[in-house]
Chain A
Amino acid sequence: MAVETKVRCQVGLTGNSAVAYAMKQINPEVVAAYPITPSTGVIEEFSSYVADGKVDTELITVESEHSAMSACVGSSSAGVRVITTTSSQGLALMWEMLYIASGMRLPIVLACVNRALSAPINIHCDHSDSMGARDSGWIQLYSETVQEAYDNMIQAVRIAEHPDVLLPVMVCMDGFITSHAIENLCLLDDSEVRDFIGEYRPKHSLLDIDNPITYGAFVLSDNYIEIKRQQSEAMVRARGVVAEVDRDFGSRFGREYGLVESYRMDDAEVAIVILSSASGTTRVAVDEMRKSGKKVGLVRPRVFRPFPYVEMQDALKGVQALAVLDRVDSMSSFGGPLFVETRSALYGAKEAPLVIGRIFGLGGRDYKVDNAIGVYKHLLEIKDTGRVEKLVDYITVRE
């Protein structure tokens, strides 16, 4: 449970507590959720806020995640702010409704605490849940730290509700690694959060009987592609809006993340691209390698949807060999989604690097500094020889 404190910084919270606290400050009209490990803590703490009268939220305790997202869709259509949270199988059970939320352009925010999908059943972190939903029309932010998960939740509300966007946003953080680890972070004041997110003024409300409208109607071949074209353009516009919201957040509170974060990339010859908490581990490896004069760097996309392909091209300029590390396998025989899309973004770029894909850390398998160092050493070999022997492979696996 978050302790109310006057001290803005150096508050120790788990990722789940920080997200629940952000939700308390956002004070959405509706939260509909069904608990699932490792995101249970979010809804558990938030329900205490509801019970203690700290929020005005209508908490809908449903019988499944499919119903949770359905209730979110209904509530959001009624024109109110809606948040939910889930993980793994829960997200999988929401699948059908994820597309309905985005297709109906409902600015729902979902905290996704990343956990591996069954089978085999597992409770620990990988990105198979949210990556499976990568084409569901949701904006996806991947948080490296507890601080960022907290900040992303608050930014997500503004991004989702922006009139140029009106798309649902998924805020991802790594299950257990981030959700259950206590980290120091700065909390904002309630009034700062309130001012930042502003009031939600929906264009339509299903409950406005003076201006009756229909949500979710049948749309046949005479209009369907137009509706999808609008949605696609909203995702294109989201790139600018995510950046704009982040800049405003930075100017107010001093923390700014960008769409893509670069670490020691100025003169980097080889680099790793990786998401979420594993980038913290990789950062340590970068420092280790730099100590012995190796020019290595790290690029971490904070946003996966919309895919920041231009920013990725810019961030990776001058790199000769690149490894994209995915905490998920697409089971396509061609590596993970981050690999495929990063490599695609670089195709046609001037002096594009050699790119390899490595899958790591599935089902919560540890990814350690030595693993990252191993990848950097391999990349330096590729840089020197100009030869890629294995385009896609696994690491952190017993051979």
Chain B
Amino acid sequence: MSKKEKVEKGYRELPIGGVLLVPGSADDYSTGGWRKLRPILDKNKCTNCKICWVMCPDSAVIVEDGEMIGFDLEHCKGCGICAVECPDKVSAITMVEEEEEEENK
């Protein structure tokens, strides 16, 4: 269901049986709010090996033109797999308490 359907449509207007007619609609659900730890990228250390991009279970690592540019915080749940998978010699990702990050803003 798209965002519009979620908010506005009465039950008669929705597709039956919970069928989703639009592919990729999960993108509309913001699930980043579940996160307790936020991944912080140090671009100076990152080698763009993209292991984090491969391993992220939520496709929340953003890569543009072959370059790792950061995280989709609307969907990242802070599992920290990216930080673990980032090679030890690189260690470009650190997990920081979400609360502290918010305070630092």
Contact = CB atoms under 8 A, between A and B. Distances in A.
A221 to B, nearest CB: 11
B7 to A, nearest CB: 8
Interface string B15-43: 01111110101100100000000000000
A204 B11 contact: no
B18 A103 contact: yes
A227 interface: yes
Interface in A88-114: 103-106
B4 interface: no
A106 B6 CA distance: 23
B20 A226 contact: no
B19 to A, nearest CB: 6
A230 B16 contact: yes
A103 B1 contact: no
B14 to A, nearest CB: 5
B23 A105 contact: no
A216 interface: yes
B19 A204 contact: yes
Nearest to B13: A226
A119 interface: no
A166 B14 contact: no
A230 B17 CA distance: 8
Contacts of B6: 222-223
A222 B29 CA distance: 11
A146 to B, nearest CB: 34
A234 B17 CA distance: 11
- What band does the interface of chain A fall in when counting residues whose beta carbon is under 8 Å from B? 20 to 34
Contacts of B12: 230
Given A226-B10, A230-B11, A219 B19 contact: no
Contacts of A104: 17-19
Nearest to B5: A223
A226 B11 contact: yes
Contacts of A222: 6-7
A227 B20 contact: no
A30 to B, nearest CB: 18
Given A212-B23, A229-B11, A223 B17 contact: no
Contacts of A220: 29
B23 A227 contact: no
A214 interface: yes
B18 A166 contact: no
A223 B1 contact: yes
A121 B4 CA distance: 52
B11 A214 contact: no
Contacts of A234: 16
Given A222-B6, A230-B11, A214 B17 contact: no
A340 B35 CA distance: 48
A227 B21 contact: no
29 contacts: A103-B18, A104-B18, A104-B19, A105-B17, A166-B16, A204-B19, A212-B23, A213-B20, A214-B19, A214-B20, A215-B18, A216-B18, A217-B18, A217-B20, A217-B25, A220-B29, A222-B6, A223-B1, A223-B18, A225-B11, A226-B10, A226-B11, A226-B14, A227-B11, A229-B11, A230-B11, A230-B16, A231-B16, A234-B16
Interface of B: 1, 5-7, 9-12, 14, 16-21, 23, 25-26, 29
